[in-house]
Amino acid sequence: MNRIVWCAAAFAVAAMPAYGQDADVSKLREELRQLQQRLQALEQRLQETESRSSKAEESATRAESTATQAAQQAASRPQTENALNPGISAILNGVYSNLQRDPNTYHISGFAPTLGDVSPGRRGLSLGESELGFMANVDHMFRGNLIASISPDNSTIDIEEGYIQTIGLSNGFTIKAGRFFSSIGYQNAIHAHAWDFTDAPLVMKAFLGGQLNEDGVQFKWVAPTSLYFDVGLELGRGRAFPASDRNKNGFGSSNLFTHLGGDIGESFAWQGGLSLYATSPRDRAYTDLDSTGASVTDSFSGSSRTWALSGILKWAPEGNNTYNNFKLQGEYFRRRENGTLTYDTTAASLGTMAGGYSSRQSGWYAQGVYQFMPMWRAGYRYDTLNSGTTTLGLVDSGALTAADFPILGAYNPKRHTFMVDWSPSEFSRVRLQFARDYSRMGLADNQIFLQYIVSLGAHGAHTF
């Protein structure tokens, strides 16, 4: 600034016409001196103003930071006893279903009905189950989690999960107790609102009766290795399919599981899992139509073992999943059941009879979901089941025929599912899904779902 003024002054002086040189030199000198004085005065005033303004600025900054601090303190001041309320979240979802076949007659041919909620839901518009969740650290030892689902039609409240989990143990140990989604395979442990498709894979429907939550205890240990490795054991009451509540002490089901996982470079992450679920159901009943057309109740007692193998591979360029990402997921289930099948337990048709029962059944699915641009994803899933070999003592001995157990007849269900979804934020999602479902022998079922899922309140973390 000063330099410019100086230069200008010098230039002005230099540019002055050079007439009457000698006589005017002293006059010029005098003028120059005056100019210099004025410049100096100006310079001083400028400096003063500058220092004043910087001081003002400084005090403004100081005031601002004091204000921010005050605001921060006010914000962090505990507000009465509510300050320690747990995190609360609510999940709302609704669906429009267009189903070619009557969902009330839905069954998976070749597989014993699971008594669970496996049908594709109601036709038309319906409110899905609303979920209410409460979660917080209890103290330095435990974390508590309660997730209740409210069914819209009969207004029953069902506890999906309600457990405590240790956070105060070391060396990689955690213990969970209460009701929780069992670590069988991969998707069973994930809440339905976080699934990539509207409904469960057929393997979960056929082998777990939908989604299996167990009342029990889970012990888990994470190994101190750089490659992720865990092993765990769940002991439960065996409250639901494939177990049956047996009214006995001890435990009714066990699930042994292990996972292995890691990264491949920056862009890929993977996880593999293996689990073995074992239980011994007693009088696990289901209804079927026998050869006379009568509705009969049959029941199974014996042992049931389910192996589940799962694999997940996720890709995101350089690990940045904001724009594009891909998730490949697959699970293979294999179940072996040995025991006794009792026909017509209520003697409603040909009379109660019992014989041996042995089955080996399996199934798998694979799905890929691609986020092709922010907010938008598309996915495809292929499901198939193998009803395998089922040996019925009553049929082998000639006492009854296979026509008396139509639902156990050999059949390999399959399903193709396509979906596209849009998530304007991480708290909301709208999904359109189309499925061609061959669960019922000889009947294809075209299913269209349009669904919204939103979450309110506490920000839940998402599992891998």
Partner 1 sequence: MKFLFLVLALAAPLAAQATVNVFACEPEWAALAQELGGDKVTTVSATTARQDPHHIEARPSLIARIRNADLLVCSGSELEIGWLPLLLTQSGNDRVQPGRPGYLEASQYVVKLEIPKVIDRALGDVHPAGNPHIHLDPRNIRKVADVLSARLTEIDHANAAYYAGRTADFVKRWDAAIDRWREQAAALRGVPVVVYHKDFSYFENWAGMREAGSLEPRPGLPPTPSHLAELVDQMMRTPAKVIVYSPYNNPGAAQFLSDKTKIPSVMLPFTVGGTDRAKDLFGLFDDTIDRLLKTVK
386 residue type, one letter: N
Residues 422-451 that bind partner 1 (CB under 8 A): 424-427
- Binding flag, residue 464, partner 1 (CB under 8 A): yes
CA pair distance 242, 112, nearest whole angstrom: 10
Interface stretch with partner 1, choices 124-132, 200-208, 289-297, 420-428 (CB under 8 A): 420-428
Based on CB atoms, which residue is closest to partner 1, 168 or 406? Answer: 168
Q: Smallest distance, Å, CB 321 to partner 1?
A: 6
* Sole binder of partner 1 in the list 4, 318, 351, 442 (CB under 8 A): 318
Q: Smallest distance, Å, CB 27 to partner 1?
A: 43
Residues forming a β-bridge with 218 = 176, 234
CA pair distance 417, 186, nearest whole angstrom: 19
Q: Smallest distance, Å, CB 332 to partner 1?
A: 20
CA pair distance 199, 124, nearest whole angstrom: 16
- DSSP for 218-281 reads EEEEE-SSSSEEEEEEEEE---STTS-----SS-SEEEEEEEEEEEETTTEEEEEEEEEEEE--
Dihedral sign computed on CA atoms, order 177, 180, 185, 191: negative
DSSP state of 257: E
* Sole binder of partner 1 in the list 159, 222, 378, 420 (CB under 8 A): 222
Residues 119-178 that bind partner 1 (CB under 8 A): 137, 140, 143, 165, 167-174
Based on CB atoms, which residue is closest to partner 1, 186 or 357? Answer: 186
Backbone angles phi and psi of 188, in degrees to 5: -60, -30
Mention every residue, 6+ apart, whose C-beta is less than 8 A from residue 331.
Answer: 185, 186, 187, 201, 203, 308, 309, 310, 311, 364, 365
- Binding flag, residue 58, partner 1 (CB under 8 A): no
Based on CB atoms, which residue is closest to partner 1, 145 or 359? Answer: 145
Based on CB atoms, which residue is closest to partner 1, 225 or 446? Answer: 225
Longest dimension (CA), the chain: 144
CA pair distance 278, 273, nearest whole angstrom: 17
Q: Return the closest-CA partner of residue 42 out of 8, 66, 86, 92.
A: 8
Angle at 188 between CA 186 and CA 194, to 5 degrees: 90
Burial class (CB in 10 A: 0-12, 13-18, 19+), 248: exposed
* Sole binder of partner 1 in the list 79, 322, 351, 398 (CB under 8 A): 322
Based on CB atoms, which residue is closest to partner 1, 96 or 142? Answer: 142
CA dihedral 173, 178, 184, 185 (to 10 degrees): -70
Interface stretch with partner 1, choices 26-34, 253-261, 297-305, 340-348 (CB under 8 A): 253-261
The pair of structure tokens assigned to 47 is 């400096």
x/- map, 59-78, partner 1, by CB under 8 A: ------x--xx-xx--xx--
x/- map, 354-383, partner 1, by CB under 8 A: --------------------xx--------
Backbone angles phi and psi of 193, in degrees to 5: -70, -15
Based on CB atoms, which residue is closest to partner 1, 137 or 280? Answer: 137
Mention every residue, 6+ apart, whose C-beta is less than 8 A from residue 33.
Answer: none
Based on CB atoms, which residue is closest to partner 1, 261 or 302? Answer: 261
146, 179 contact by CB (below 8 A): no
* Sole binder of partner 1 in the list 99, 240, 269, 308 (CB under 8 A): 269
Backbone angles phi and psi of 63, in degrees to 5: -60, -40
- Binding flag, residue 335, partner 1 (CB under 8 A): no
Size of the site for partner 1 (CB under 8 A): 57
Cβ count near 208 (within 10 Å)? 29
Q: Smallest distance, Å, CB 325 to partner 1?
A: 9
Q: Smallest distance, Å, CB 185 to partner 1?
A: 16
Counting every residue written for the chain, the total comes to 464
Based on CB atoms, which residue is closest to partner 1, 24 or 263? Answer: 263
CA pair distance 417, 433, nearest whole angstrom: 7
CA pair distance 131, 202, nearest whole angstrom: 23
* Sole binder of partner 1 in the list 261, 355, 368, 393 (CB under 8 A): 261
Q: Smallest distance, Å, CB 224 to partner 1?
A: 6
Q: Smallest distance, Å, CB 177 to partner 1?
A: 14
- Binding flag, residue 13, partner 1 (CB under 8 A): no
Q: Smallest distance, Å, CB 316 to partner 1?
A: 8
x/- map, 77-116, partner 1, by CB under 8 A: ----------------------------------------
CA pair distance 64, 54, nearest whole angstrom: 15
- Binding flag, residue 247, partner 1 (CB under 8 A): no
- Binding flag, residue 461, partner 1 (CB under 8 A): yes
Residues at the interface with partner 1 (CB under 8 A):
65, 68-69, 71-72, 75-76, 137, 140, 143, 165, 167-174, 220-229, 259-263, 266, 269-271, 314, 316, 318-323, 374-375, 424-427, 459, 461-464
